[in-house]
Amino acid sequence: AQTVTQSQPEMSVQEAETVTLSCTYDTSESDYYLFWYKQPPSRQMILVIRQEAYKQQNATENRFSVNFQKAAKSFSLKISDSQLGDAAMYFCAYANTGNQFYFGTGTSLTVIP
């Protein structure tokens, strides 16, 4: 089975600064998708950014960008200009073409005013 590892249970960042959340995964498949989801205390899982494994270009969504290293099986999330509303639990997720989503253990991000 695929595994997704987030080695940082908690992170903190000053407002307006940049923070990077780490994620590694293990798979033998060649076609898959990677995601970062955010889960605030309201508990709804919200998609932050997605990356298709076949694309070499790193995905970006406004202040959010990823560093996708396919050979190293690494998928980190960079949040620039951090805002108070970014405080949440962040989950890295892997999805195969069989519709199975696997989540990492999460990183709790605190934004310090």
Partner 1 sequence: DTEVTQTPKHLVMGMTNKKSLKCEQHMGHRAMYWYKQKAKKPPELMFVYSYEKLSINESVPSRFSPECPNSSLLNLHLHALQPEDSALYLCASSHPGTGYTEAFFGQGTRLTVV
Tell me which residues touch partner 1 (CB under 8 A): 31, 33, 35, 37, 42-47, 50, 89, 91, 95, 97-106, 108
Q: Identify which of residues 16 and 55 has a Cβ nearer to partner 1 in the complex.
A: 55
**Identity of residue 84:** L
Say how many C-beta atoms besides its own lie within 10 A of residue 8's C-beta.
Answer: 16
What is the closest distance, in whole angstroms, from the C-beta atom of residue 30 to partner 1 in the complex? 12
Q: Which is nearer to partner 1, 30 or 113 (CB)?
A: 30
Q: For residue 25, what are its two tokens?
A: 């995964």
Q: How far is the CB of 81 from partner 1 (least distance, A)?
A: 24
HEC-encoded secondary structure of 55-91: CCCCCEECCEEEEEECCCCEEEEEECCCCHHHCEEEE
Question: Residue 75 or 91: which CB sits closer to partner 1?
Answer: 91
